[in-house]
Amino acid sequence: MVRNSLLPNLMARKRWGVLMLDTQFPRLLGDIGCPEGWPFDLMYQKVPGMFPQEIVRSADSLKQHLVLPAFVNASRQLIAQGAEGITTSCGFLVLLQNELQATLPVPVISSSLLCLPQLLAVHDTVGVLTMDDEALGAAHFLAAGVAVKDLSRLRVQGVQKNEAFALAIMGNQLEMDVAAAQKSVVSAALRLKQKAPEVKHVVLECTNMPPYAGAIQVATGWQLHSLYQLLTTSSAEASK
C-alpha cells in the first residue's frame, strides 16, 4: 500500500464520492469518471463552472479563482448522500488536499500525486506524466507531501496541447478520437523515457490517462501509479 502522511487513515471504504469537473468528454474504462471496473461504488457530484481549463492551472492562478468553496459544498453533498471518502477527477486538485481534509469529516484522496513521497523514499527518480507540464509545478508537489529537497528528483512530462488527447479534454469536447488520444499519451511517455531513461516508476497525474496504461507500459516498461491504483489499494488494505 502506498503510504503518505497526508493520506487519511482509512477504514473499510465502499463508497467513494468523486468531485467531478464540469465536463462532457468521453470517459473510458479506467477513467475515474467511468463507474465500471472499480471494486467499490463511486458516487458523482459535478462542480458547476469548474471546467478543465479553470483547474489545470498554475498554483497562483488557481488560488486567484477561489475555487475551494465550490468543492467543499460539492463534497458535503456527496457525504450527505452516503459517501465515505472523497476523491476528485483532476490531479491538479491536490492543491486543495489539505483544505478539504481539514474541512471534511471523511478521508480525502485528491490526486494520484499523493503517491510521490512513498515512491521517492525508495527510488532515486520518479516520473510524472501530466496534462500540462507548464502548469504543474512545485506547489502541486509540495501539496502532495513531496519534500523541497526531493523536488529535483522528479521528472515531469506533459502531452502535446495540439494533439487529440489534450484537445478533447481541455476543449471539453463531446467526442474523442481514442486511437489518436492514445498515440498522444504514449508519445509523451516516450519523450519522458528518452530524456530520463533512468526512470522506472511513473505517476499518471491525469485521471484520464489510466485507460492508456497498458499501451504506455508496453511502450516503456514502466511501473505506473495512478489514482485508480491508489484508491483500489487503499480500499483493499483497509478492508483486511
CATH label of the domain that carries residue 28: 3.40.50.1860
Residue 237 lies in a domain: no
Residue 232 is predicted with a pLDDT of 79
Residue 9 is predicted with a pLDDT of 47
* The overall pTM is greater than 0.85: yes
Residue 102 is predicted with a pLDDT of 96
Residue 240 is predicted with a pLDDT of 43
Residue 7 is predicted with a pLDDT of 53
68 and 167 belong to one structural domain: no
Residue 239 lies in a domain: no
164 and 86 belong to one structural domain: no
97 and 193 belong to one structural domain: no
Residue 18 is predicted with a pLDDT of 98
Residue 64 is predicted with a pLDDT of 64
pLDDT in tens, the chain (240 residues): 344 545 554 444 479 999 999 999 999 999 999 999 888 899 999 999 999 988 998 887 777 678 999 999 999 999 999 999 999 999 999 999 999 999 999 999 999 999 999 999 999 999 999 999 999 999 999 999 999 999 999 999 999 999 999 999 999 999 999 999 999 999 999 999 999 999 999 999 999 999 999 999 999 999 999 998 788 765 544 444
111, 134, 168: which is the final residue of a domain? 111
Residue 10 is predicted with a pLDDT of 47
Domain that holds residue 223: 113-227
Residue 207 lies in a domain: yes
- Full DSSP string of the chain: ----TTS-------EEEEEE-S--S---TTSTT--TT-SSEEEEEE-TT--HHHHSS-HHHHHHTT-HHHHHHHHHHHHHTT-SEEEES-GGGGGGHHHHHHH-SS-EE--GGGGHHHHHHH-S-EEEEES-TTT--HHHHHHTT--GGGGGGEEEEE--TTSHHHHHHHTT-S---HHHHHHHHHHHHHHHHHH-TT--EEEE-STTSGGGHHHHHHHH-PEEE-HHHHHHHHHHHHT-
Residue 238 lies in a domain: no
Residue 239 is predicted with a pLDDT of 46
Residue 234 lies in a domain: no
Total of domains in the chain: 2
111, 128, 153: which is the final residue of a domain? 111
